[in-house]
Amino acid sequence: MTRPLSVALAGLGTVGSGVLSLLRDNADVVRARAGRPVVVTAVSARTRTRERSAALAGLRWFDDPLALAADPAVDVVVEVIGGSEGIARELVEAALGHGKPVVTANKALIAVHGAALAAAAERQHAQLAFEAAVAGGIPVIKALREGLAGNRIARVAGILNGTCNYILTAMREERREFADVLAEAQRLGYAEADPTVDIEGVDAAHKLAILAALAFGRPVAFSDVHIEGIRRVSQLDIAFAGELGYRIKLLGIAERADGGISARVHPAMVPAAAPLARVDGVTNAVVAEGDFVGRVVLEGAGAGAGPTASAIVADLIDLARGRLTPVWGAAADALTPLPAVPILAHDGCYYLRLMVVDRPGVIADVTAVLRDLGVSLESMLQRGRAPGEAVPVVMVTHETREEAMRAALARIAALEAVLEEPVLIRIELA
């Protein structure tokens, strides 16, 4: 087939412009791999007059993006508007309703509404592709859904947010505090003016929900993900982590546990020699563990115009070639609704940092609480003496149940000599 694949592009920001540029600059490569030309013929965006990096001459403009879904001249709709609700959701639903395939980079939409959208795609015999929704240019969706399809996946873990990874890297390398590095990240464009979705872990949780569904053959369930961000990680914790042989990373982890699936996003102490510990800056990385393949590590650019456009065009090439894959790797009726394992059932080792008044009996009071709740200590650090003043105390536990640690934390925080809310960071082998 030599007829071009006609693409409608909704959203002309950084990613949309990147898609236009890639399809034009690499038209010969795309044509060879797709078996026919892949061309954007129609576009829609909020503002027609805005100056853009990619020329729009010769393209049909639609003020109403929903009209793209009904246009008979459009073969596939690419949605790069963003957001789990509003016009992005309406467009994807409309396109699938018309039986048109959809390619999207919208992780929030797929994480929150992916089950319903997949069902709609299945009913209409339309494709829904979202390689660009997780880890930018890293082909992690294809790896889990296709490359590792013959494996039972035990665990998938990763650094899924470049903003947080940049901040934690700069805090470690430059010995700066969180607020200072965040402000710099905003100036450099690595963080949004409102960085809440990134630094509170929500963006990483959207991506983890998608990976967990693919890895374990279960319906996508964003609400099952436990979420913590990096706002409370301090330079003091970064320094103690280094002294203990760890680096702090914001990780997304999904694994089989106690008959269900544990899915959690939180800061973690990772051994300095582990693959994920060495992933710095805005780079993303994902580690998957399969029963036959063993451990697979994927690393690369997790965001930006080029990497995200690369993933979108990979999906377009699949569509041009007629390569059809179920949205979640299997038909909806073949997915297993495995139960969510709550964070309180997590077993692991913990880093606990306290700020206490330096006086006799304080450590005995803290260790008595841990003893009473069955928490065993592996090591403890206390630097310097300042009688009557605040000093940091760091404790590392042996493996214990999260429920016990939470109970201990509440009691320790109530001690008179404890001056600040304790900091608790899970230790992960990654």
Question: Which superfamily, per CATH, for 5-133?
Answer: NAD(P)-binding Rossmann-like Domain (3.40.50.720)
Structure tokens at 140: 């992690």
Residues in the chain: 430
Residues β-bridged to residue 380: 395
Note the Cα 175 to chain centre separation in Å: 26
What's the whole-model pTM score? 0.94
Structure tokens at 225: 């993900």
Q: What are phi and psi of 279, to 5 degrees?
A: -90, 110
Is there a contact between 276 and 268 (Cβ–Cβ < 8 Å)?
no
* Residue written as token pair 């960085």: 195
Can you give the residue ranges of every domain in the chain? 5-133, 140-302+337-343, 346-427
Using DSSP, state whether 176 is helix, strand or coil: coil
Structure tokens at 98: 């018309």
Picking from 344, 412, 349, the residue whose alpha carbon sits closest to that of residue 378 is 349
pLDDT of residue 192: 85
Structure tokens at 61: 């403009």
| Interatomic CA distance for residues 138 and 211, integer angstroms | 13
Residues β-bridged to residue 159: 285
Say which DSSP state 47 is in.
-
* Helix or strand holding residue 78 (H, E): strand 76-79
The Cα diameter of the chain in Å comes to 82
* Helix or strand holding residue 184 (H, E): helix 178-188
* Helix or strand holding residue 300 (H, E): strand 294-301
> What are the angstrom distances between the C-alpha of 362 and each of 230, 307, 376, 393?
28, 52, 17, 10
| Interatomic CA distance for residues 27 and 236, integer angstroms | 51
Instruction: Please report, in tens digits, the pLDDT of each residue of the chain (430 residues total).
Output: 579 999 999 999 889 999 999 999 999 999 999 999 999 999 998 877 777 767 788 889 999 999 999 999 999 999 999 999 999 999 999 999 999 999 999 999 999 999 999 999 999 999 999 999 998 889 999 999 999 999 999 999 999 999 999 999 999 999 999 999 999 988 888 888 899 999 999 999 999 999 999 999 999 999 999 999 999 999 999 999 999 999 999 999 999 998 899 999 999 999 999 999 999 999 999 999 999 999 999 999 988 889 999 999 999 999 999 998 899 999 888 999 899 999 999 999 999 999 999 888 999 999 999 999 999 999 999 876 778 788 999 999 999 999 999 999 999 999 999 999 999 999 998 7
Classify strands 377-382 and 153-159 as parallel, antiparallel or unpaired: unpaired
Q: What are phi and psi of 342, to 5 degrees?
A: -70, 155
Structure tokens at 399: 């493996």
Work out the angle at residue 344's Cα, subtended by the Cα atoms of residues 177 and 214, and round it to the nearest 5 degrees.
85
| Interatomic CA distance for residues 292 and 333, integer angstroms | 25
* Residue written as token pair 């000093």: 391
pLDDT of residue 384: 66
Same fold? 140-302+337-343, 346-427: no
Q: What number of H helices and E strands is found in the chain?
A: 14, 17
| Interatomic CA distance for residues 22 and 80, integer angstroms | 15
> What are the angstrom distances between the C-alpha of 86 and each of 70, 90, 229, 281, 302?
18, 6, 26, 32, 25
Classify strands 102-104 and 76-79 as parallel, antiparallel or unpaired: parallel
Residues β-bridged to residue 299: 285
Is there a contact between 199 and 182 (Cβ–Cβ < 8 Å)?
yes
We find that the CATH architecture of domain 140-302+337-343 is 2-Layer Sandwich (3.30)
CB-hemisphere CA count at 13 Å for 163? Answer: 27
Residues classed as catalytic = 207
Using DSSP, state whether 21 is helix, strand or coil: helix
Structure tokens at 317: 């090439």
By CB neighbour count within 10 A (0-12 exposed, 13-18 middle, 19+ buried), where does 1 fall? Answer: exposed
**Rounded to 10 degrees, what is the CA torsion of 142, 144, 146, 150?**
170
Q: Got the DSSP string for 86-151?
A: THHHHHHHHHHHTT--EEE--HHHHHHHHHHHHHHHHHHT--EE-GGGSSTTS-HHHIIIIITTTS
Under CATH, to which class is 346-427 assigned? alpha beta
